Structure 1
Amino acid sequence: MFLTTNTCEGKRDCIKQCPTKAIRFINGKAFSCLTCGICYKNCPNGAIFENSYGGYVVDRAKCNGCGMCMYNCPTNNITIEDGIVYGICSRCGVCSEVCANRVDGWEFEKSKQLNLIRAFDILNPPLDNVPSKKESETKLVTRTCFGTDTEKCILCGRCSQYCPTGAIRVKIDRDEGICSECRLCSDVCPNGSMNKHQIVSKSSCTLCLNCMKSCPNNAISVEDFEIIVNKINQKPAGKIISCLNCGLCADLCENESLKNVDGKLRYDPTSDTENRNHEKAIEACPIHTLREDDEMFIYDEFDEVELSTLAGFCVSCGKCVQVCDEVGARQFMTASWDGKVTDDCISCGICTEVCQEGAITLHRGSISVDLDKCILCENCAVHCPVDAIPKTTMYKNEIKDGFNFIEQKLCMHCGLCHKTCSYDAIDEIDGNFVVNEEKCTYCGACKNACPARAFLFERNFKDSIEGI
């Protein structure tokens, strides 16, 4: 919640600005809703919900003014005026903007911890080459995986061809029929006539055409009984996406056929054949490598049907590293994050919406991350429209289009949407706030800030590697 400190001067600016009338003046001090959630738990109509900021909002379209929230409020903070519920804090942060003495409870707790660490460092100066308490207690969430050094990668696709589960996807911006130097032709040549540089020994080549059949780019042809490799000496553009080994799919797998064992994904296609629903796990995969296997099925003798299996998850076999030995782009990596974001954050709240682990809480201009819950799946980062969250994958989900409309009958005219929008896409016309569709990017910051749930909002994302 937002706290009133002992330095409150009683000016009541916070009370005047609060859009939900959640702050009262008692004995010369400002006191507000505790955001305890009891109103949310006791609402019989489901008209109160927890928003991305960790506050609570009344959906006026569902509220019938029964008063159960008001009767159950432990601090008697809730009132009903003309059928509208007031007194519930949405944690919008407007009060702290107009009064420097009001602070976010989360920021307050964090500052207390930092002050304790500073005091400890002053009283107990660290020895040489020994990290201070502040440095040693810096918390990180880590994840191990097989990843790609994009500076070394030549986008040949060799790792993708050898991955046993199809967990690596490569998009190459190269015309059909051009050699990608994947060296598959050299691998399948039965007598070594094709070397690793795609040079053919005419004297030993038997024209078995194995190289031609295996070439994924149709870059090999035959002319006058000779093998011809079509090569262009240029580094292609494109992207390589591989399973992050985050384990989110295992967490969401409803039939427990996919598990995370000691940090490695393991799959048993025969497990729980009566419940073959993998839709939730497939849909939630942050980089969409997880999918149904088109080549392998399990036969269910009882129902006499073929059941689909899964593909696209990394089993940590290391084959991609072995076959990338010439280039050395595939490596065993450790990713880490301290939960911090850049100043580019626009409070859109997309990260809180897509986080399957419930690890992110939105703040004005920043987020807080529960690192004990975070599994570093990077779903928040691949959806962030301003790249304020760090990521290791080249995958990206970008906002394609959407719909945004303010229902005037629900609007409280608080102006929070207007203040929050980083793109000046909310216009005030004759006292009403309306969306300027020409400027709107459908980030959702206005929707998340609205304490009246007055926005009719939709957005669509586009996959940065569609078609592969």
Structure 2
Amino acid sequence: MFLSTKKCEGSGECIKECPTQAIRLVEGKAFSCITCGACAEACPNRAIFKNKYGGYVVDRAKCNACGVCEFTCPVNSINIEDGLVKGICARCGICTEVCPLDARIDAFDIIEDRKLKFLESLNIAIPSTPKLSPESKQVERVNVVTDLDKCTLCRRCEYYCPTEAIMVNVDQKGVCTECRVCEDICPADAIKDTTIDPEKCTLCLKCVKECPNNAIYVDDFQVKIKHLTDEESLSGTIISCLNCGLCVEACQKGALKLVDGKIRCDPNICEDCETMECQEICPVGTLKSSFEFGPGIKGYCVSCGRCVKACDINEARSFKKVTWDGSVSSDCISCGICAELCPKDAITLKRGTIEVNPDRCILCEKCGIHCPVDAIPRTTMRKKSIKDGFTLIDDKLCMKCNLCAKICPEEAISPDADGRMIVDESKCIYCGACSNACPARAVIFDREFELSS
């Protein structure tokens, strides 16, 4: 519930703006529904439900205005006008925003604070809430990371990775990336600085078969390498396993394990599951089926460091401690995709504020991969964008609070002449901000993602 402090002068701004008419003046102070839930328990039609903010909303499709809630309300906040139930607080928070004196406060915060102080005063063996220092609030993960400023997309690390946990996609196919793999594998030592010595070349064709970017070919009994022109440069993406461990948790057979923070797989246990949940949950998509030792998988990093050693010129690959303190950039549009998709339920969206639980977060970067405005930091180049979706507003549940319109980053929602909230599909990007902001669960919403990089 929301309370009025001594600052309240009874100006009535909160009363005017409250979409459910749950606030009234009592002795010159704003007083509102206490969200006790008695109305919801008493409703014979189950037409009143508790929303995610702790408030209560009336489903007008079920409500027949029988009046049981009105008689049950302990503070006489509920009244029925023209067959509509009014006076129930949905905890939308509009009253706190419009109060010119900041006199409206959230009582839930006060209650929780007093509960903790009361428990501490008892001086009994109750675990206290740990006060985290700035350092301990950070989430940490150690894995091999690519320095994108140094990486030239040569594909050398990809070639030498024993578990195929690195995926390099070069836009320019069939040209030399200067990975020097051909130099390493040539049995006649005929290749130096990406140039082939025809006097030494034995036409064994090993370089042709092994070239990661298919840049080596045979022309008139001579092995040749196709190079980029002076005007061209390589472009593309490099994506590798994050060592987050989600695949380990998803494996129902117990074939994957984390040993000292490193992923291990037993091919004798691994089976070609029908669901392949380990692949489905992988945030970067490196896991794939392998039949080298029978049914199994590849694409998980074993932290062997071979890619680090292979990247010996630019030193773009290195073991690194990745940290995140839960902060996001000012570009955040409070869409809630991060909270919705987090596999560990580590992110909570509270009225536009993202809170990250460091005890749950494993830095899988799924939130950053799906963030439509790149407000969440990520180390991977993997990126997904919203492909399509739909957004509808159920007029039977809509409270006309306009929160959806206020939070929509594209201004795609607005009231029509009758006050009904309408979604402009030509503007909507299906981010879901309206759905997360709606205290009445009136937004019917779905979306589909596609891989963009």
Please, what TM-score do these two structures have when normalized by structure 1?
0.78
User: 2:184: which partner in 1?
Assistant: 187
1:350 aligns with 2:349: no
What does 1:46-445 align with in structure 2 at a 5 Å threshold? Answer: 48=49, 51=52, 54-55=53-54, 60=59, 82=83, 87=88, 89=90, 91-99=91-99, 100-103=102-105, 139-174=137-172, 176-195=173-192, 197-232=193-228, 233=230, 234-271=232-269, 276=273, 279-291=276-288, 293-296=289-292, 298=294, 308-430=295-417, 431-445=419-433
Distance 1:261 1:45 in 2: 50
Residue deviations 1:354-401 (CA, integer Å, cap 9, x gap):
111111121344311112211111111111111111222111111122
Instruction: Return the offset for 1:460.
Output: 1.5
Distance 1:206 1:184 in 2: 17
Instruction: Return the offset for 1:426.
Output: 0.9
Residue deviations 1:420-447 (CA, integer Å, cap 9, x gap):
2121111221122111111111111112
The alignment partner of 1:187 has SS state of helix
Instruction: Return the offset for 1:189.
Output: 1.1
C-alpha change, 1:272 and 1:214, in structure 2 (3 Å) is closer
Distance 2:402 2:266 in 1: 54
Instruction: Return the offset for 1:185.
Output: 1.5
Distance 1:97 1:137 in 2: 33
Distance 1:192 1:447 in 2: 63
CA RMSD after TM alignment:
3.9
Residue deviations 1:315-368 (CA, integer Å, cap 9, x gap):
111111111112211111111111111222111111111111111121344311
Conservation of the 8 A alpha-carbon contact between 1:345 and 1:366: no
Instruction: Return the offset for 1:78.
Output: 9.1
C-alpha change, 1:315 and 1:241, in structure 2 (3 Å) is same
User: 1:117: which partner in 2?
Assistant: none
Distance 1:373 1:23 in 2: 38
Conservation of the 8 A alpha-carbon contact between 1:185 and 1:214: yes
Instruction: Return the offset for 1:32.
Output: 5.4
Residue deviations 1:205-255 (CA, integer Å, cap 9, x gap):
211111111123221122333221111154311111111112222233333
Instruction: Return the offset for 1:297.
Output: 5.8
Conservation of the 8 A alpha-carbon contact between 2:49 and 2:56: yes
Comparing 345-354 with 224-233, greater Cα deviation is found at: 224-233
Distance 2:398 2:4 in 1: 28
Comparing 95-104 with 56-65, greater Cα deviation is found at: 56-65
Comparing 186-195 with 437-446, greater Cα deviation is found at: 186-195
Instruction: Return the offset for 1:199.
Output: 1.7
- Equivalent residue for 1:454, pick from 438, 442, 447: 442
Distance 2:69 2:260 in 1: 49
Conservation of the 8 A alpha-carbon contact between 1:417 and 1:445: yes
Distance 1:405 1:227 in 2: 62
User: 1:130: which partner in 2?
Assistant: none
Distance 1:35 1:146 in 2: 52
Conservation of the 8 A alpha-carbon contact between 1:286 and 1:377: yes
The alignment partner of 2:243 has SS state of coil
C-alpha change, 1:138 and 1:216, in structure 2 (3 Å) is closer
Distance 1:44 1:145 in 2: 55
Distance 1:111 1:135 in 2: 19
Q: Letter of the 1:238 partner, please give it.
A: G
Instruction: Return the offset for 1:453.
Output: 2.3
C-alpha change, 1:157 and 1:58, in structure 2 (3 Å) is farther
Conservation of the 8 A alpha-carbon contact between 1:45 and 1:62: no
Distance 1:243 1:272 in 2: 19
Q: Letter of the 2:104 partner, please give it.
A: R
Instruction: Return the offset for 1:181.
Output: 1.7
Conservation of the 8 A alpha-carbon contact between 2:412 and 2:428: yes
Comparing 335-344 with 275-284, greater Cα deviation is found at: 275-284
Distance 1:408 1:158 in 2: 58
Comparing 453-462 with 2-11, greater Cα deviation is found at: 2-11
Conservation of the 8 A alpha-carbon contact between 2:178 and 2:194: yes
Distance 1:354 1:172 in 2: 29
Distance 1:338 1:49 in 2: 32
In structure 2, stretches of 5+ residues that fail to align are: 115-130
Distance 1:280 1:70 in 2: 47
Please, what TM-score do these two structures have when normalized by structure 2?
0.80
From the CA coordinates, give the structure whose radius of gyration is larger: 2
Conservation of the 8 A alpha-carbon contact between 1:245 and 1:264: yes
Residue deviations 1:252-283 (CA, integer Å, cap 9, x gap):
3333332333322222243376x946544432
User: 2:120: which partner in 1?
Assistant: none
Distance 2:44 2:150 in 1: 57
Conservation of the 8 A alpha-carbon contact between 2:181 and 2:211: yes
The alignment partner of 2:202 has SS state of coil
Conservation of the 8 A alpha-carbon contact between 1:255 and 1:277: no
Residue deviations 1:111-155 (CA, integer Å, cap 9, x gap):
99xxxxxxxxxxxxxxxxxxxx99756621111110100111110
User: 1:126: which partner in 2?
Assistant: none
